[in-house]
A and B are shown apart, each in its own frame.
Chain A
Amino acid sequence: MTLIGKSVPRLEDRELLTGTGRFAGDQNFEGQLHMRVVRASLAHGRILSVDTAAAAASPGVFAVWTGVDVADVSPINLRPGSALQDLEKCRQHILAQDIVRYVGEPVAVVFADDPYRAEDAAELIWADIEELPPVVGLMDMPGEFAPGVSTEPAVLVKGYGDVDAAFASAAHIVDCELSVGRHAGVPLETRGALAIWNDDENRLEFHAAAKIPHTNRIALAELLGLELDQLHLFEGHVGGGFGVRGEIYPDEVLVNLAALRFRRPVKWIEDRMEHLIAANHSREQTHRIRAAINADGLILAIDDEFWFNQGAYARTHGATVPVVSATMLPGPYKVPAYRATGRIRLTNVTPAGTYRGPGRYETTFVREQLMDTIAAELDLDPLAVRRTNLIAADEMPYERPFEIGGKPIIYDSGDYPESLARFLDHVDYDAVQAEMAERRASGEMAGAAIICFVELGGDGPFDDVRVEMDTDGRVEVITGVASVGQGVETVIAQICADTLGIDYAGITVTHGQTDRIARGQGARASRVTVMTGNATHKAASGVRGMLLEKAAELLQSPVETLEISDGVIGIVEGLGEGPSVTVAAAAAEILRGQNAPRIAVEESFENDRATYSFGAQLAVVVVDPLTAGVTVERFAVVYDIGRAVNPMLVEGQLVGGAVQGIGGALFEEFLYDETGQPLSVSFADYLMPTAAEVPDVECLVLEDSPSTTNPLTLKSGGDPGITGAGAAIAAAIGDAIGRPGAIKRLPVTPLRLRAILRGDADRKQEKNNAENGVST
Chain B
Amino acid sequence: MTRIQLNVNETIHDVEVEPRHSLVDTLREGCGLTGSHIGCEHGVCGACTVLVDDQPVRGCLMFAVQADGKDIRTVEGLDDDGAFNALQQAFHEHHALQCGFCTPGMLMLATWIVERGLPVDDNELREIMASNLCRCTGYRNILRAVRAVLDASGQDGAGA
- Please report A residues at the B interface, Cβ cutoff 8 Å: 9-10, 12-13, 15-21, 23, 25-26, 116, 185-190, 237-242, 271-272, 484-487, 648-649, 651-652, 655-660, 682-684, 688, 690-694, 696-697, 721
Give CA–CA (A188, B34) in the complex, Å. Answer: 16
Q: Are B34 and A691 in contact (CB under 8 A)?
A: no
Answer whether residue B58 sits at the interface, using C-beta atoms and an 8 A cutoff: no
* Known A25-B38, A691-B139: A656·B88 in contact at CB below 8 Å: no
5 A-B Cβ contacts within 8 A?
A10-B95, A17-B92, A237-B100, A240-B136, A485-B100
Given contact pairs A17-B97, A187-B101, a sample of 8 additional A-B residue pairs in the complex whose CB atoms are under 8 Å apart: A25-B34, A189-B37, A237-B99, A652-B137, A660-B135, A690-B133, A691-B130, A693-B130
Within 8 A of A (CB), among B27-67: 28, 33-42, 44-45, 47
A427 to chain B, nearest CB (A): 16
* B139→A683 contact, CB < 8 A: no
For residue A343, give the distance in angstroms from its CB to the closest CB of chain B: 31
- With A and B bound together, what is the CA distance between A25 and B39 in angstroms? 11
Asked if B113 lies at the interface with its beta carbon under 8 angstroms from chain A, I say no
Interface of B is mostly: loop
Q: Which residues of B contact A690 (CB under 8 A)?
A: 130-133, 139
A-chain residues with CB within 8 Å of residue B139 when the two chains form the complex = 659, 690-691, 694, 696
- Complex Cα spacing A21 to B18, Å: 27
Question: Is B134 an interface residue when CB atoms closer than 8 A count as contact?
Answer: yes
Residues of chain B contacted by A692 (CB below 8 angstroms):
126-127, 130
Contact, CB under 8 Å: B40 / A682? yes
Residues on A with beta carbons closer than 8 Å to the beta carbon of B95: 9-10, 648-649, 651-652
Is residue B151 within 8 Å, beta carbon to beta carbon, of the partner chain?
no
A189 near B101 with CB under 8 A, answer: yes
In the assembled complex, the Cα of A692 lies from the Cα of B92 at a distance in Å of: 23
Q: Does B138 contact A (CB under 8 A)?
A: yes
Taking a contact as CB atoms under 8 Å apart, the answer to whether B141 and A652 are in contact is yes
Neighbouring A residues of B91 by C-beta, 8 Å: 13, 17
Residues of A within 8 A of B88 (CB): 17-18
Query: Chain B nearest CB: distance from A269 CB in Å?
Result: 8
B15 at the interface (CB under 8 A from A): no
Chain B residues with Cβ under 8 A from A190's Cβ? 39
Q: Are B42 and A683 in contact (CB under 8 A)?
A: yes
B4 at the A interface (CB under 8 A): no
Per the bound structure, the CA–CA distance linking A174 and B124 in Å amounts to: 47
Quick check: B134 and A188 within 8 Å, CB to CB? yes
Cβ 8 A contact of B92, one of A10, A25, A659, A721? A10
Let me know if A272 and B79 touch, CB within 8 A: no
- B137→A682 contact, CB < 8 A: no
Please tell me if B103 contacts chain A, counting CB pairs below 8 Å: yes
- Of B103, B127, B135, the most chain A CB neighbours within 10 A belong to B135
Task: Give B160 Cβ to nearest chain A Cβ, in Å.
Answer: 17
Contacts of B78 in A (CB 8 A): 17-19
CB distance from B76 to the nearest CB of A (A): 4
How far apart are the CA atoms of A690 and B84 in the complex, in Å?
26
- The closest CB in chain B to the CB of A683 belongs to B44
Task: Tell me the complex Cα distance, A484–B107, Å.
Answer: 20
Question: In the complex, are the beta carbons of B40 and A18 less than 8 A apart?
Answer: no
Q: How far is the CB of A277 from chain B (nearest CB, A)?
A: 14
Known contacts A9-B93, A19-B33, A484-B99; is A188 also within 8 Å of B138 by CB? Answer: no
A10 to B21, CA, bound (A): 36
Q: In residues 75-115 of chain B, which contact A (Cβ within 8 Å)?
A: 75-76, 78-79, 82, 84, 88, 91-93, 95, 97-104, 107
Q: Given A691-B143, A697-B138, A9–B99 Cβ distance below 8 Å?
A: no
Q: Are A655 and B99 within 8 A (Cβ)?
A: no
Q: Which residue of B is nearest A27, CB measured?
A: B34
Is B74 touching A240 in the complex (CB atoms < 8 A)? no
Q: How many angstroms from the CA of A752 to the CA of B92 in the assembled complex?
A: 41
- Whether B37 contacts A688 by the Cβ 8 Å rule is no
* A25, B60: Cα distance in complex, Å: 15
State whether A186 touches B135 (Cβ < 8 A). yes
Q: Chain B residues with Cβ under 8 A from A16's Cβ?
A: 97, 99-100, 103
- Which residues of A sit under 8 angstroms from B132, Cβ to Cβ? 690
Does chain A have a CB within 8 A of B20?
Answer: yes
Q: Are B143 and A696 touching (Cβ within 8 A)? A: yes
Within the complex, the shortest CB–CB distance from A612 to chain B, in Å, comes to 24
Identify which of residues 121-159 in chain B touch chain A, using a CB-to-CB cut-off of 8 Å: 126-127, 129-143
Give Cα A692 to B135, complex, Å.
14
Out of A18, A655, A682, A688, name the residue touching B35 (CB < 8 Å): A18
Name the B residues within 8 Å of A696 (CB-CB).
139-140, 143
| Cβ distance B1 to chain A, nearest Cβ, rounded Å | 12
The one of B20, B103, B135 in contact with A187, judged by C-beta atoms closer than 8 angstroms, is B135
Nearest opposing residue in chain A for B97, CB measure:
A16
**Contact residue among B39, B40, B138 (Cβ-Cβ distance under 8 Å from A659):** B138
CA separation between A692 and B131, bound complex, in Å? 9
Assuming the contacts A683-B44, A688-B133, A690-B130, asked whether A239 and B37 have C-beta atoms less than 8 A apart, the reply is: yes
Q: Is the CB of B101 within 8 A of A658?
A: no
Q: Is the CB of B42 within 8 A of A682?
A: yes
Bound CA span A322–B132, Å: 34
Pair A694/B100 contact, Cβ less than 8 Å: no
Given contacts A240-B101, A659-B138, contact A9 B76 (CB under 8 A): no
A-chain residues with CB within 8 Å of residue B42 when the two chains form the complex = 272, 682-684
Given contacts A18-B75, A25-B34, contact A652 B98 (CB under 8 A): yes
A116 lies within 8 A of B129 (CB):
no
Contact residues in A for B129 (Cβ distance below 8 Å): 691
What's the nearest-Cβ distance from chain A to residue B31, in Å? 12
Q: A648 to chain B: which residues have CB within 8 Å?
A: 95
Within 8 A of A (CB), among B1-36: 18, 20-21, 28, 33-36
Quote the shortest CB–CB distance from B46 to chain A (angstroms). 9
The interface residues of chain B lying within 8 Å CB-to-CB of A649 are: 95
Contact B136 A485 (CB under 8 A): yes
User: Which 6 pairs, one residue from A and one from B, show the smallest C-beta to C-beta distance?
Assistant: A19-B35, A485-B99, A16-B100, A239-B101, A659-B138, A683-B44
B39, B41, B75 — most chain A CB neighbours (10 Å): B39
Known: A19-B33, A648-B95, A694-B138. A684 touches B103 (CB 8 A): no
Residues of A within 8 A of B35 (CB): 18-21
Decide if B41 touches A272 in the complex (CB within 8 Å). yes
Q: A17-B103, A649-B95 are in contact. Are A240 and B135 (CB under 8 A)?
A: yes
B97 touches A19 (CB 8 A): no
Decide: A272 and B137 in contact? CB cutoff 8 A.
no
Specify the chain A residue showing the minimal Cβ separation from B127: A692
The residues of A that contact B127 with a CB separation of less than 8 Å are 692
Check if A656 sits within 8 Å of B98, measured CB to CB. Answer: yes
